[in-house]
């Protein structure tokens, strides 16, 4: 195929938050599928394969031509929810970084790109709140009234502006993303590697997770499947408690597992209100995305950890 024909065929995906862990990985996957990828970033980076677009979301300053040429926009922006303790100021930043970003994107799309094919936005399973329950939550459940639930409610409500304007909109409620290149798993591995793996709190709280390959697969399906619209849970089908997760990780690394739990009070002292992320968790259904036709590459924790730990050893 000639270069001119390739340019005509290639679809353009613009990713906000594309320099983060998921964004970098997703960009590579999209390039492998012959999409043209542009990254919205505060810092322009020079990559011969991926375009970098200067962006100041707080000032709503974006290269209008880049937005005008987008076939799809994927929004991954938002302040890290577990990077710092949740002060009042930090909480507001977490919400504003999500809502303001989408508002900026919406205004730019409204002005420059009436033909955008889809807007796909990250959300989180925090939508269902920080609780421990035997209930299996589905996309039809209402948002919780705690901080995480309210954050996700406002996050998704901002994304819904695209839907009301006639643009297909997909919201990906993501669990804990497992990758060999950092993120949550890198932190979980530390105590296991030094031989002090044990459950946190009661250990009975569920830890909904997803392999990064599957998360990227769901985003790509959201681009390519015109029937996908609304919210989808991006979590693996297998439900694991914190204790089960830690035990499986210890077994994968051939490390001991201690059957005494780290007291909940220790987590509360260390992390304050944010400790709810570690101490609470419910089962989240992956049924809707599976019904939509997505087949998980890593449906079990054992298969996911084996793949990621081997990948880490080979890096």
> Please, which pLDDT band fits residue 65 given cuts at 50, 70 and 90?
confident
> Please, which pLDDT band fits residue 59 given cuts at 50, 70 and 90?
low
Asked whether 165 and 311 are in contact (CB, 8 A), the reply is no
- Asked if residue 162 has pLDDT above 60, the reply is yes
Domain region containing 210:
10-244+268-314
Asked whether 264 and 272 are in contact (CB, 8 A), the reply is no
pLDDT at 89: 95
Q: Is residue 210 part of a domain?
A: yes
- Asked if residue 7 has pLDDT above 50, the reply is no
CA distances from 190 to 124, 186, 194, 312 (A): 25, 7, 7, 13
- The tens digit of pLDDT for each residue in 295-315 reads 999 999 999 999 998 766 655
- Global pTM reads 0.92
Stretch 88-113: mean pLDDT, rounded?
A: 94
Give the ranges where the chain is alpha helix by DSSP (H). 3-9, 21-32, 64-68, 88-112, 147-164, 183-193, 212-224, 242-252, 264-271, 276-279, 287-291, 301-314
Pick 3 or 247 by higher pLDDT: 247
CA distances from 145 to 174, 245, 273 (A): 19, 27, 15
Question: Number of C-alpha atoms within 13 angstroms, CB side, residue 24?
Answer: 9
- The tens digit of pLDDT for each residue in 226-250 reads 999 999 999 999 999 999 999 999 9
Number of H helices, E strands in the chain: 12, 12
DSSP state for residue 239 in the 8-state scheme: -
* Overall domain count for the chain: 1
CA distances from 69 to 38, 63, 74 (A): 10, 10, 14
Contacts of 136 (CB under 8 A, 6+ apart): 239, 282, 283, 284, 285
Q: Is residue 162 part of a domain?
A: yes
Q: Is residue 279 part of a domain?
A: yes
Q: Is residue 257 part of a domain?
A: no
Instruction: Return left, alpha or beta for 195; rule: phi > 0 is left, psi -120 to 50 is alpha, else beta.
Output: left
CATH number of domain containing 290 = 3.40.50.720
Contacts of 15 (CB under 8 A, 6+ apart): 23, 26, 27, 37, 38, 39, 40, 73, 74, 75, 76
């Amino acid at each position: 195929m000639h270069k001119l024909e390739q340019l005509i065929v290639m679809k353009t995906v613009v990713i906000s938050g594309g320099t983060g862990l998921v964004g970098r990985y997703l960009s590579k996957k999209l390039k492998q599928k012959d999409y043209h990828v542009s990254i919205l970033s505060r810092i322009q980076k020079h990559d011969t394969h991926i375009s970098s677009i200067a962006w100041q979301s707080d000032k709503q300053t974006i290269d209008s031509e880049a937005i005008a040429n987008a076939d799809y926009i994927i929004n991954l922006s938002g302040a890290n929810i577990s990077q710092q303790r949740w002060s009042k100021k930090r909480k507001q930043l977490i919400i504003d970084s999500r809502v303001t970003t989408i508002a900026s994107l919406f205004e730019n799309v409204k002005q420059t790109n009436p033909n955008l094919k889809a807007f796909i936005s990250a959300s989180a399973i925090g939508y269902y709140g920080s609780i421990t329950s035997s209930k299996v939550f589905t996309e039809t459940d209402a948002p919780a009234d705690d901080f995480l639930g309210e954050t996700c409610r406002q996050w998704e409500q901002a994304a819904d502006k695209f839907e009301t304007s006639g643009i297909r909109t997909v919201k990906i409620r993501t669990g804990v993303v497992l990758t060999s290149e950092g993120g949550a798993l890198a932190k979980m591995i530390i105590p296991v590697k030094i031989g002090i793996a044990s459950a946190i709190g009661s250990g009975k709280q569920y830890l909904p997770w997803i392999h990064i390959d599957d998360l990227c697969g769901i985003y790509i399906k959201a681009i390519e499947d015109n029937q996908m619209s609304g919210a989808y849970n991006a979590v693996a089908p297998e439900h694991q408690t914190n204790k089960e997760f830690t035990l499986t990780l210890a077994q994968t690394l051939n490390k001991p597992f201690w059957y005494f739990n780290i007291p909940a009070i220790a987590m509360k002292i260390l992390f304050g209100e944010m400790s709810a992320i570690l101490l609470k968790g419910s089962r989240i259904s992956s049924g809707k995305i599976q019904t939509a036709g997505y087949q998980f590459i890593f449906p079990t924790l054992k298969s996911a950890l084996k793949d990621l730990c081997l990948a880490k050893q080979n890096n």
